[in-house]
Amino acid sequence: MDFSLKEEHEFFKKTIADIVDRMIKPKAKEIDEKDEFPWELWREFSKLGYLGLRYPEEIGGMNADKIMCMIFYEEITRGSVGFAQSVIMNILMGTYFIYRFGNDSIKERCLYPAMRGEKIATICFTEDQSGSDLGATRTRAVKDGNGWRINGTKMWITNGPICDFCTVLATVDPSLGLKGLNFFLVEKGTPGFSSGQVLNKLGCRGTVTGELIFDNVWVPDENFLGDELGKGVQYVGEILDEVRLMTGAMALGLARAAYEEGLEFARKRVAFGQPIGKFQLIREKFAEMDTLMNAARLLVYYGAWLLENGMDARIVAAEAKMFATEVCLKVVDEVTRIYGANAFAYEYNPQRYFRDARFLLYGGGTHEVLKDFIGRSIIGKL
């Protein structure tokens, strides 16, 4: 067994951490307070080329392995969850199906500009009445001549109101349930495609999240993203484990941001004539947080290792997402206690971490759904 990162991974981690410390972390508070998409930071960051992280070098990507991807997701989230969410959407879910199924023209129009940060990508699963329950998707695609006509409304779409293109999950026949689901590309400017309500969120502020409306939107056949009809859910399965592990890595990054500030505070804050880090009950918090974070890290990176080596990561990925997120919630909570009343003030960061952590509960599957999946997978069909 070898738990150490390879030299190249260590170097990548240090480099990304430096970039995050220099470019992103100093702006995190402002991003949260303004709750506006940080266009300047986006342009500055995307120029560096990391948005092509997981795609081949031949098309301008970095061909990063799964360990590197997790390192990236963890570090960028340590800087700002709001910014990380938009970046990761362009890197992974927002472009995956375009990369996988888009023809050359679509890749030229959408994928390559998104890898350069010139276009903003997103994916649309959730609707007002369906999230984890994909089978309840009501957005409908109907064959119309040499293309498809799409009608429906999507909600909770990360980058939605500012996206240049989106991959939309729609059913071709609601009676088929999951087997009726397919992906379609819709680009900004297509008649009938518009954004609706922008959500005012508790956390992850700075990422623009909201509603996308498809009102009789017509797209050509080439915008159907798949080899054959009815395989949408199967295609989701291709990246679902990575998405779950990514959420776990984000949770780790956020937990670390909170933990590091809590540690600094515990070393410096004096109460009853000594730094509070000298009190046993504060030390106990660090013992617990460190243990939990180490356990979460092992699970997330073990899952990434399984994926990288082509092994079945379905259960571990679900466990990693669930456990790392719960650990993150615990850590951000403990850090607010270490900070005392200061954590309740907007001047200090712990309240932001506390708010941001809640978001990670939902992406990649709620824990109620994940627990059921894990339990079902372990016990098997009875």
Partner 1 sequence: MRIIVFVKQILDSEAMISVKEDKKSFQFEERFSLNFFDEFAVEEALRIKEKVKDCEVLAVSLGPKKAQDVLRTSIAMGVDRVALIESERYSILDPTYTAKVLSGFAKKEGFDMILCGERAMDDENGIVGVLLAEYLKVPYVGSVIKMELKDSRGITVNSEMDGGLFVYDVDLPAVFSVRKGINEPRVPNVTGVMKAMRAQIPSYEPSSFGVFSPKTEIVEYHSPGKRPPVKIIEGKTPEEKVKKLISLLKEEAKVL
Give the range of 8-16, 170-178, 208-216, 242-250 binding partner 1 by CB under 8 A.
Answer: 8-16
Give the range of 3-11, 118-126, 172-180, 338-346 binding partner 1 by CB under 8 A.
Answer: 3-11
Please say which residue, 50 or 183, places its beta carbon nearer to partner 1. 50
Question: Which runs of consecutive H residues, i.e. helices, occur in 147-279?
Answer: 232-268
> How far are the Cα atoms of 14, 140, 209, 237 from residue 76, in angstroms, in the given order?
12, 36, 19, 25
Please say which residue, 18 or 36, places its beta carbon nearer to partner 1. 18
Nearest distance, CB of residue 80 and partner 1, angstroms: 16
Nearest distance, CB of residue 9 and partner 1, angstroms: 9
Nearest distance, CB of residue 126 and partner 1, angstroms: 31
User: What is the dihedral sign for C-alpha 78, 79, 81, 85?
Assistant: negative
Please say which residue, 57 or 347, places its beta carbon nearer to partner 1. 57
Structure-token pair, residue 204: 């992850």
Greatest extent of the chain over all pairs of C-alpha atoms, in Å: 79
Please say which residue, 17 or 199, places its beta carbon nearer to partner 1. 17
Nearest distance, CB of residue 247 and partner 1, angstroms: 24
Nearest distance, CB of residue 345 and partner 1, angstroms: 19
Question: Which runs of consecutive H residues, i.e. helices, occur in the chain?
Answer: 7-19, 28-34, 39-46, 66-79, 81-91, 93-101, 104-106, 112-115, 232-268, 280-308, 314-339, 350-359, 367-379
Nearest distance, CB of residue 144 and partner 1, angstroms: 41
Q: Map the footprint of partner 1 across residues 23-52, applying CB under 8 A.
A: 23, 47-50, 52
Nearest distance, CB of residue 274 and partner 1, angstroms: 11
Cβ atoms of 150 and 170 closer than 8 Å: yes
Please say which residue, 141 or 257, places its beta carbon nearer to partner 1. 257
Q: Are strands 140-144 and 121-124 parallel, antiparallel or unpaired?
A: unpaired
Q: Map the footprint of partner 1 across residues 101-120, applying CB under 8 A.
A: none
Please say which residue, 72 or 183, places its beta carbon nearer to partner 1. 72
Residue positions counted in the chain: 382
Q: Which of 86, 77, 88, 72 is nearest to 35 (CA)?
A: 86
Q: Which residue has the tokens 């780790």?
A: 252
Q: Map the footprint of partner 1 across residues 48-107, applying CB under 8 A.
A: 48-50, 52-53, 57, 62
The CB-based long-range contact list for 283-286 (8 Å cut-off, 24+ gap) reads 285/334, 285/337, 285/338, 286/262
Give the range of 17-25, 28-36, 127-135, 159-167 binding partner 1 by CB under 8 A.
Answer: 17-25
d(CA 242, CA 261): 29
Cβ atoms of 187 and 110 closer than 8 Å: yes
d(CA 365, CA 103): 30
Nearest distance, CB of residue 88 and partner 1, angstroms: 16
Q: Is 283 in the site for partner 1 (CB under 8 A)?
A: no
Q: Is 302 helix (H, G, I), strand (E, B) or coil?
A: helix
Nearest distance, CB of residue 53 and partner 1, angstroms: 8
Q: Map the footprint of partner 1 across residues 120-179, applying CB under 8 A.
A: none
> How far are the Cα atoms of 71, 96, 148, 297 from residue 66, in angstroms, in the given order?
9, 15, 35, 14
Please say which residue, 49 or 177, places its beta carbon nearer to partner 1. 49
d(CA 45, CA 54): 16
Map residues 330-349 to x or -, x wherever contact with partner 1 holds by CB under 8 A: --------------------
Count residues binding partner 1 (CB under 8 A): 20
Q: Map the footprint of partner 1 across residues 259-278, applying CB under 8 A.
A: 270
Please say which residue, 62 or 338, places its beta carbon nearer to partner 1. 62
Contact residues for partner 1, defined by CB under 8 A: 7-8, 10-12, 14-15, 18-19, 22-23, 47-50, 52-53, 57, 62, 270
